[in-house]
Amino acid sequence: MQGSTSFVEQLRLVPTVPSFNPRYDRTLVGKQPRSFSISTQAFLEKDLPDIKQSSELLAGFKELIHPEGDTYLFDQSRRIITPSNTTVSSWGRTMDAVFQKIVRLLGKGTKLPLSSELYLSSQGGPLEVAYYLADHDKKVIYWLEETDAQSLGLGPFESDADLRGALTSEYWVHVDYFPNHRGLDAQAEEDLMGTLRHGCIDDMTAPGSTFPWSAEECRHFLSVLEGFRMSNSEVVLAERTSCIARLWAAISRVRHIHGYGSSNARLDRFQGIEDYLNHQTVSSLHLALGDAVTFGNSQHTFRRMTELWNGRVVYQRHWNAFLDDMRREWMQMTYFPLAIWMACIILVASGKACAAVFVSAWLSAAAVLVSLHLLQAHATDKLSTAPGISAWISRVEDLKHGLRPLSIKFALPRALTIYAFISLQLGLVLVYRATS
- Looking only at the bridges linking them, the beta strands covering 12-15 and 128-135 are parallel
Q: What is the pLDDT along the chain (436 residues), one digit of tens a residue?
A: 444 556 666 778 889 999 888 888 776 655 555 555 556 666 566 665 555 544 466 778 899 999 999 999 999 999 999 987 665 667 888 888 899 889 988 886 778 999 999 999 987 666 789 999 999 999 999 998 888 877 887 877 777 888 888 999 999 999 999 999 988 999 999 999 999 999 999 999 999 999 999 999 999 999 999 999 888 777 789 999 999 999 999 999 999 988 888 888 889 999 988 888 888 888 889 999 999 999 999 999 999 999 999 888 889 999 999 999 999 999 999 999 999 999 999 999 988 888 999 999 999 999 999 999 999 999 988 888 887 888 899 899 998 899 999 999 999 999 999 999 999 999 999 888 877 6
> Is there a contact between 363 and 416 (Cβ–Cβ < 8 Å)?
yes
Question: Rounded to whole angstroms, how far apart are CA atoms 161 and 96?
Answer: 35
Measuring CA to CA, which residue among 17, 52, 30 is closest to residue 177?
Answer: 17
264 half-sphere exposure, CB direction, 13 A CA radius: 6
- The backbone torsions φ and ψ at residue 150, rounded to the nearest 5 degrees and listed phi first, read -65, -30
Whether residue 94 contacts residue 128, with contact meaning beta carbons closer than 8 Å, is answered with no
Position 124 scores a pLDDT of 67
The pLDDT assigned to 188 comes to: 96
Write the pLDDT tens digit of every residue in 380-394: 888 888 878 888 998
Q: Are 416 and 337 in contact (CB under 8 A)?
A: yes
State how far the alpha carbon of 262 is from the alpha carbons of 138, 311, 426, in Å: 18, 16, 62
367 and 377 Cβ atoms separated by less than 8 Å? no
Query: How high is the pLDDT of residue 126?
Result: 66
Cα dihedral across residues 86, 91, 96, 98: positive or negative: negative
- What is the pLDDT at residue 108? 66
pLDDT digits (tens, 9 = 90+) for 271-326: 988 888 888 888 889 999 999 999 999 999 999 999 999 888 889 999 999 999 99
Contact 209, 203 (CB under 8 A): yes
Q: What is the 3-state secondary structure (H, E, C) of the chain?
A: CHHHHHHHHHCEEEECCHHHCHHHCCCCCCCCCCCCCCCHHHHHHCCCCCCCCCCCCCCCEEEEECCCCCEEEEECCCCEEEECCCCCHHHHHHHHHHHHHHHHHHCCCCCCCCCEEEEEEECCCCCEEEEEEEECCCCEEECCCCCCHHHHCCCCCCCHHHHHHHHHHHHHHHHHHCCCCCCCCHHHHHHHHHHHHHHHHHHHHCCCCCCCCCHHHHHHHHHHHHHHHHHCCHHHHHHHHHHHHHHHHHHHHHHHHCCCCCCCCCCCCCCCHHHHHHHHCCCCHHHHHHHHHCCCHHHHHHHHHHHHHHHHCCCHHHHHHHHHHHHHHHHHHHHHHHHHHHHHHHHHHCCCCCHHHHHHHHHHHHHHHHHHHHHHHCCCCCCCCHHHHHHHHHHHCECCCECHHHHHHHHHHHHHHHHHHHHHHHHHHHHHHHHC
pLDDT at residue number 1: 44
- What integer pLDDT is reported at residue 66 of this predicted model? 93
Residue 279 to residue 400: CA distance in whole angstroms:
8
Cis ω for the linkage preceding 113 (within 30 of 0): no
